[in-house]
Structure 1
Amino acid sequence: MRFQVLDIVFNPPHPVTGAAVAPSDRLNRVVDTAVLAEELGLDSFSVGERHAGEVLSSSPTVILGAIAARTSRILLSTGVTVLSLLDPVRVAEDYATIDQLSRGRFEMVIGKGNEVQQYPVLGLDISKQYEYLQENYELLRQLISGEEVTWSGTHHVPLDKITTLPRPYAGPFRIWHGSATSAFAVDLAARWGDPIVSANAFQPRENYKVLIDRYREQYAEHGHDPAKAYVGSGSGGLFLADTTEQAIEQYRPIYEGAVARADARGYDPKAVGKVTAFRTVEEAVERGPALVGSPERVVEKILDYHQSYGHDLQSVSVNHLLDVEQQHDVLRRFAEEVVPQVRAEVKTDLWTEADSGRAKGFTAV
């Protein structure tokens, strides 16, 4: 199995103390964590994108550029690039720049985004979010794959022999599709032979598994090699302690504070994908995807979910509300005490030389 660290760069105040982290500190900590992830031998570092709420990831390309300059091996990614909101020409230009700066260590995850307030802020009609996603994706594919692109669509202005610069480092970079709540993303990925990343954050595993199973079925029906139907999985947060009981008690204020903050935004508790189905940290640990516990328990849980999902990539997020030293300690323990045990049990050719579609500047150890 391969391992990724994802930071969506949430930056609300601490739910207990009310202390806030300065944006300059928070953003620099993202870069420092990516450097640490590389030092620890993790495979990938991913930066999210949002344009509303208490989040600092409105410019993921800037953050990834800073990470590219501080790293030399780790693969860089997005989680997700909210392609429904963006001009595919700019996306092609911006991310080819990241691909060049990192010397071919970039792959992208696209999606419609999970923040409804982004659409009115940017003057877009949320009822057309899937139309935007499909059209922007199909145009982006053409722009990064070839030169002198001519295009006519519904939402983007026509293009006549347009070549975006810079070009990608060594051919078009791979595009993954973020999957959370609907069949649309997995169907689009399967049609084009792309991999997917399941959010696996807020809902019972059955809700995500049905989409993963549909993806594999559709992927094969479209005539693609099933061996290349790579699947990534997120998690409902990562926190480690010597015992699972200690981990639950130490993580409780942060988890339940986050639930309360989500409730305060006014989402319907039944809104699928917007709020967690697991109201307490015990529920999230016992029945949900939260990787909270002893290293042994987290190993067991990842392997248990792998029995359901068959995933090749495990993405984890360390909560920024922890002290920086504690964040790094959790990540270090994960890399040293969890990752080797899971890798010994789950094999994949993702990002190895056997993976012909991988970022050309990166080969996983």
Structure 2
Amino acid sequence: MKILAITLVVQSPDPQTGAQVSTRERFGQVVAAAEFAEELGFDGFGVGERHERPFLSSAPTVLLSHIAARTSRLRLFTAVTTLSLLDPVRAFEDYATLDHLSDGRLELIIGKGNGSAQRDLFAVSPEDQWARNAESYEVFRSLWRSQPVTADTTFRPPLRDAEVWPRPFQQPVRVWHGSATSRESVDLAARYGDPLYSANVTNPIEPYAELVAYYRDRWSAYGHDPAALTVGAGTAGLSIAPTSQEARRAFAPSFEGYLQAQARLGVEPVFPTLEDFVERSSALVGSPAEVIDKVHRYHERLGHSVIHVPAEGRPTAPAEHRASLELFADEVAPILRRDLPDPPQWGPVNPTHDEVTEGAAAESLASA
């Protein structure tokens, strides 16, 4: 099993002190979290993409480029790239550049995104966001694989023998499809033979397991090799301590933040008590043995070979979350790697060395 740490780069006041760090300091915390994840031996680090408060993750390519320069081994994930909001040509340019800057460590998790503020900002409606996501992905995918590209598009000007630079380092890049509530993203992943990443954080396991089962069905229906099927899954929180009691005590501020967020939204919490949250959500809260057992139980339902944990524990105290990550790396991760399978593919995907081609193109332009 491969293990990621992921952040959405939330900027919000500390629920106990009311203090809020500056944007500059907050970005510094994220970079430090990525460096710590690499130090602990995690396999990847992910940055979300959101275009509304309280998130600072509107430019994941910029942030991941900086993290690429400060790390050397981590696979770098987007979680998720909101292609329904983006021009796929511009997205390709950004990510192809990041692919080179990271020496082919880039992986994308794409999705339509959520939140009405984001949709309003980019003039995307709930009715067309799935179609936008699919169209943007198909254009992005075509540009990455071969050029020139011709495409009759609906949500951006059509492409006619379009060439877009730079050519990427990996050929192709691995694109995961984020899955939370709908079959549209699941079917898109299965159609193209791409891996699926289950959000697995908001509800109990049942709806996520149903979507993963649907993915497996569609994968077979599209004629793909069953051995190549890959599923990743998230976790709703992390708090590991020598005893269950210590872990729950440390996680209590995070659960209180969850209740407050649900109250602001005016909805009943899916998990009304801390005990229910620990029992029925995907959160990894408990002793190392309890956490290992829970991941195994989820694997029985989801069959996932990649898992992520929160890179940051807000509003849990940073020192306590770092201690959880250390305990996870020391006592949990080795067992998961031993007992559960790795994904069929990992690492750079068929790196291309196109400098010769680019150099020839540059010479041709110079002599024209």
TM range (shorter): over 0.9
2:18, 2:171 → 1: CA distance? 47
1:32, 1:188 → 2: CA distance? 35
Name 1:236's counterpart in structure 2.
236
User: Where do residues 239-250 of structure 1 align in structure 2 (5 Å cutoff)?
Assistant: 239-250=239-250
Name 2:35's counterpart in structure 1.
35
SS of the residue corresponding to residue 155 of structure 2 reads coil
Residue 359 (str. 1) matches residue 353 (str. 2): no
Q: Which of 99-108 and 247-256 deviates more?
A: 247-256
Name 1:149's counterpart in structure 2.
149
1:279, 1:83 → 2: CA distance? 34
User: Where do residues 1-365 of structure 1 align in structure 2 (5 Å cutoff)?
Assistant: 1-266=1-266, 268-269=267-268, 277-317=270-310, 318-352=312-346, 359-360=349-350
Pairwise CA distance, 1:347: 2.0
Maintained 8 Å contact 2:197/2:231: yes
Q: Which amino acid aligns with 1:340?
A: P
Pairwise CA distance, 1:90: 0.9
Pairwise CA distance, 1:277: 1.6
1:359, 1:7 → 2: CA distance? 24
Pairwise CA distance, 1:163: 1.6
Pairwise CA distance, 1:259: 2.2
1:225, 1:105 → 2: CA distance? 25
SS of the residue corresponding to residue 349 of structure 2 reads coil
2:131, 2:96 → 1: CA distance? 24
1:117, 1:212 → 2: CA distance? 29
Pairwise CA distance, 1:360: 4.5
Maintained 8 Å contact 2:92/2:140: yes
How far does the alpha carbon of each residue in 1:95-139 deviate from its partner, in whole angstroms, 9 at most, with x for none? 111110011111100001132321012222222110111111111
How far does the alpha carbon of each residue in 1:263-301 deviate from its partner, in whole angstroms, 9 at most, with x for none? 2134x44xxxxxx52122211111111111111111111
1:170, 1:203 → 2: CA distance? 35
Change (3 A) 1:226 1:6: same
How far does the alpha carbon of each residue in 1:335-354 deviate from its partner, in whole angstroms, 9 at most, with x for none? 1111001111112244448x
Seq. identity, %: 43
2:299, 2:209 → 1: CA distance? 11
1:342, 1:95 → 2: CA distance? 31
Name 2:358's counterpart in structure 1.
none
SS of the residue corresponding to residue 171 of structure 2 reads coil
Q: Give the TM-score taking structure 2 as reference length.
A: 0.91
Maintained 8 Å contact 2:9/2:48: yes
Maintained 8 Å contact 2:13/2:19: yes
Pairwise CA distance, 1:258: 2.5
Maintained 8 Å contact 1:106/1:359: no
1:32, 1:328 → 2: CA distance? 11
Pairwise CA distance, 1:327: 2.9
SS of the residue corresponding to residue 126 of structure 1 reads coil
Q: How many residues align?
A: 350
Q: Unpaired segments of 5 or more residues in structure 2?
A: 352-368
1:352, 1:257 → 2: CA distance? 35
Computing the radius of gyration from Cα coordinates, the structure with the larger value is 2
Maintained 8 Å contact 2:4/2:308: yes
Maintained 8 Å contact 1:16/1:257: no
SS of the residue corresponding to residue 6 of structure 2 reads strand
Pairwise CA distance, 1:328: 2.3
Q: Which amino acid aligns with 1:338?
A: V
2:248, 2:114 → 1: CA distance? 27
Maintained 8 Å contact 1:299/1:341: yes
Q: Give the TM-score taking structure 1 as reference length.
A: 0.92
